[in-house]
Amino acid sequence: MSKPQVGIIMGSESDLKIMQDAAEVLGHLGVEFELTVVSAHRTPERMMDYAQAAKGRGLNVIIAGAGGAAHLPGMVASVTTLPVIGVPIKSSNSIDGWDSILSILQMPSGVPVATVALNGAKNAGILAAQIVGTFNETVAAKLVTFKQELKEKVDTSIREIRIAGFRNDFDDK
């Protein structure tokens, strides 16, 4: 079994229902990943250990999801040179999700976290695969197919909407 290239971590098991979208798309794109709970507030030593060991363990990217006062992605980014992708989660302790978004997004200069949309774990997985795809041709090729499938889905929608009888002068020209 080859080593994981992406580490998916989250503040609580309650985040898994969102974060499994990242796991699913990474699996689809052929990227090896690991997934576990690392809490900035409940297990701070584990968080530091994970972040400090990540590069040496062979990880290329970390995806970190958290809700509410979402300190995990930023704190992990503070102690690793690996790219960190942050997933804000609307959790039981979120007011409306903006708390998580801003906690992850508004990092101080010098310590970036690539923040995706609220509950946007699928895009976090795709972005992580795109980072891996810069040096792994197999993953890069899968991403080309993935993009082509996105286009084909839209092409199908366009055909179905035309069949339903809506006027579309753009495509009828």
* CA-wise closest residue to 86 among 77, 78, 94, 95: 77
Q: Pattern 69-108, binding to ligand RP5, x per CB under 6 A?
A: --------------------x-xxx---------------
- Comparing CB distances to ligand RP5, the nearer of 71 and 122 is 71
Q: How far apart are CB 126 and ligand RP5 at their closest, in Å?
A: 21
Q: Bridge-partner residues for 66, per DSSP? A: 88
Q: How far apart are CB 94 and ligand RP5 at their closest, in Å?
A: 7
Single out the residue of 25, 38, 66, 126 in contact with ligand RP5 (rule: CB under 6 A).
Answer: 66
Rounded CA-CA distance 142/146 in Å is 6
- Comparing CB distances to ligand RP5, the nearer of 12 and 60 is 12
- Comparing CB distances to ligand RP5, the nearer of 114 and 132 is 114
Q: How far apart are CB 90 and ligand RP5 at their closest, in Å?
A: 8
Region 9-28 residues binding ligand RP5, contact defined as CB under 6 A: 10-12, 14-15
- Comparing CB distances to ligand RP5, the nearer of 28 and 41 is 41
Q: Pattern 27-56, binding to ligand RP5, x per CB under 6 A?
A: ------------x-x---------------
User: How far is residue 171 CA from its own chain's centroid?
Assistant: 35
Q: How many CB atoms lie within 10 A of CB 41?
A: 14
Q: CA of 116: how far to CAs of 4, 65, 104, 146, in Å?
A: 22, 10, 9, 19
Q: CA of 30: how far to CAs of 73, 131, 137, in Å?
A: 24, 13, 11
Q: How far apart are CB 66 and ligand RP5 at their closest, in Å?
A: 4
Binding site for ligand RP5 (CB under 6 A): 10-12, 14-15, 39, 41, 66-68, 89, 91-93
